Structure 1
């Protein structure tokens, strides 16, 4: 018969893999720490490494819980930013945007005189996300290339020799349909300004 903590361990492992969308090939082990801790005692660590990290705490015997903070140097069950206090495997994912150092405290559960644990720190390869500036430049380059090809690909419409001022300011429906949005906005503002002045 499977122990309830074993069932919880399987469910937590499955949920963590499904939630993060990260496969085992996309992670790299940075460090593995094995030690024991007495009941109601804390062991403290400080994590400096940047990037997206995952802390996996396995209670080999007894029960050990993990608490993390970026502000409190010795986080505990009252003061923490993130925690995992299940029986079995405890997993915490530290986002790359979280400031460093990250302070880690491991707590030995009072029901066990001595608990043995293994803490594994994994680095997760983040998918490349294009930043805002890159996307804007990419869009502008595409947009102006399209506009340039439209301008050079189509001949300029010839205007009649004599036009009144109101005829010059109006654009035909065909021309308006091919104009880019920013050009339409600029023309609308100019027309509004001319009407206000007159």
Structure 2
């Protein structure tokens, strides 16, 4: 019994036991500013669309909580898909896409529910990467924290991400696809 207690204490006090404790940092650099946390559900073979209006380099860090959600991004269309996109991440694990600061805004974000799962649940964290140097020719005034200079720190608003499809339309389109497949 004493041996088991000593092993248990050693496991929790040793660096190898760190996997049993919650991680203090989740691999996100301190220079990244968290703008949004978006959570949602998506049905198999369906898309959910978001719009990104923030300027600068933006990091989309999405993880599937259930199922497998994939990420498609474009500055040419607000409805990117696996047929029309500029950036993508389609892993079975965490999906990360870095949206460059020179992408035209608004940027379309498509979240696709992989058909291997009936439903996928996701959480996407949206970060502003402050490590990218500011354009010295950008004349827009943004005060720094001490009131001097012109360092840019964009402010997040509720309008920066807007869902474009309601659940009703997603279900209606899914039903129409099924009817078309049955008829043809």
Partner of 2:110: 105
Kindly indicate whether residue 36 of structure 2 is the aligned counterpart of residue 31 of structure 1. yes
In the alignment, structure 1 segments of 5+ residues that lack a partner are 1-16, 18-22, 133-198
Kindly indicate whether residue 108 of structure 2 is the aligned counterpart of residue 117 of structure 1. no
Kindly indicate whether residue 70 of structure 2 is the aligned counterpart of residue 65 of structure 1. yes
Aligned-residue offset at 1:131: 4.8
Give the RMSD, CA atoms, in angstroms. Answer: 1.7
Task: State the distance in 2 between where 1:130 and 1:99 align.
Answer: 16
Aligned-residue offset at 1:72: 1.5
TM-score for the superposition, normalised by structure 2 = 0.57
Of structures 1 and 2, the larger Rg is shown by 1
Contact kept, 8 Å, 1:54 with 1:124, in 2: the verdict is: yes
CA deviations 1:98-117 (Å, max 9, x no partner) are 11000000000000001110
1:88 to 93, 104, 113: 93
Task: State the distance in 2 between where 1:130 and 1:105 align.
Answer: 29
Change (3 A) 1:130 1:96: closer
Change (3 A) 1:116 1:48: same
Task: State the distance in 1 between where 2:116 and 2:100 align.
Answer: 32
Considering Cα pairs closer than 8 Å and 6+ residues apart, tell me whether 1 or 2 has the greater RCO.
Answer: 2
Aligned-residue offset at 1:126: 2.7
Identify, as 1 or 2, the structure richer in helix. Answer: 1
Matches within 5 A, 1:138-157: none
Contact kept, 8 Å, 2:57 with 2:132, in 1: the verdict is: no
Kindly indicate whether residue 45 of structure 2 is the aligned counterpart of residue 40 of structure 1. yes
In the alignment, structure 2 segments of 5+ residues that lack a partner are 1-26, 138-184
User: Alignment partner of 2:115: what SS?
Assistant: coil
User: Alignment partner of 2:30: what SS?
Assistant: helix
